[in-house]
Amino acid sequence: MSKKIFSGVQPTGNLHLGNYLGAIKNFVDLNNDSENDCIFCVVDLHAITVKQDPKELRSNIQETVATFIASGIDPKKSIIFNQSKVPAHAEGAWILSCVARMGWLNRMTQFKEKAGKDKEKASVGLYSYPVLMAADILLYDATHVPVGDDQKQHLELCRDIAQKFNTDFEIENFLQVPEPLIQKEFSRIMSLKDGSKKMSKSELSDLSRINLTDDKDLIINKIKKAKTDPLPMPNTPKELDERLEAKNLLGIYSSLTNSTLEKSVENFAGKNFSEFKQKLSEVLVDKIEPISTEIKKLLDDKSYLDNTLLEGVERANIIASKKIKRIKEIVGF
């Protein structure tokens, strides 16, 4: 049975290895499976929950599309589009926000983490964006949604909203209740400078991350300077519980080589970190450098990226406009 896949990435600009291994690599695999119908959305409406520079946002949207294509997503097979160009997303979010309950949103831990101590000054959009995320998914009758650990709660909310809408309006299975596609291993890639923090573009030091636009020399230098500990490579995976930086680097290696953590530990047991880092650098350069080269090439062809988005918007709009029309009829509009 074919799967309808929906997922989105915020256009934050300067996507990095954490974005690639945590989401985009999986998108490519899903795109390549002939059984799947995939929709990959640049969620620019989500991006403005925090203040954005308009010029930078437009540029970041193009860069995200370039990264999708450079990584191996085929825009002819999968739909690639930006959310703000399909009005049904905003309309659907409002209608579903009247179905969602305050208590459900109050339990969302992501808001607490993102708003921090000053949550009184956070935007309403940041608080309610899980409802927009639900609309994104439900407009396309997605059967499956790839999620990392930090998004599982939002998908549960989406399922609750779908079920409540169907019950409230006595229309069984109208909104498809989606299933999660959980990437079990290595969905959270940590900083190269601190194994307890998630890899992020907001971290001040560029040495903390591998950017998908980094060239060969930069990648090698960053891995050389990546934080480790004075001990040799571990002999068992159990030893990694207390060695976060070693666990992160071995996780990156395992993900890039499509191996298990256990197998990677076995391959490098007792060896020096310098030897392992050399191998890791080779694997990273082999995987990331071609993506980096292609991103830069695509960014030089803005008209191609604009046309790709335009085609994607047209295809997405056909699906979403039919669904929102029916939703509005059901509600009484």
Q: Say whether 201 is catalytic.
A: yes
SS (H, E, C) the chain: CCEEEEEEECCCCCCEHHHHHHHHHHHHHHHHCCCEEEEEEECHHHHCCCCCCHHHHHHHHHHHHHHHHHHCCCCCCCEEEEHHHCCHHHHHHHHHHCCCCHHHHHCCHHHHHHHHHHHHHCCHHHHHHHHHHHHHHHCCCCCEEEECHHHHHHHHHHHHHHHHHHHHCCCCCCCCCCEEEECCCCCCCECCCCCCCECCCCCCCHHHCCECCCCHHHHHHHHHHCCCCCCCCCCCHHHHHHCHHHHHHHHHHHHHCCCCHHHHHHHHCCCCHHHHHHHHHHHHHHHHHHHHHHHHHHHCCHHHHHHHHHHHHHHHHHHHHHHHHHHHHHHCC
Q: Are 196 and 203 in contact (CB under 8 A)?
A: no
Q: Say whether 117 is catalytic.
A: no
Catalytic residue among 164, 198, 216, 227: 198
Catalytic residue among 114, 216, 225, 227: 114
Catalytic residue among 3, 85, 164, 201: 201
Q: Active-site residues: which are they?
A: 114, 198, 201
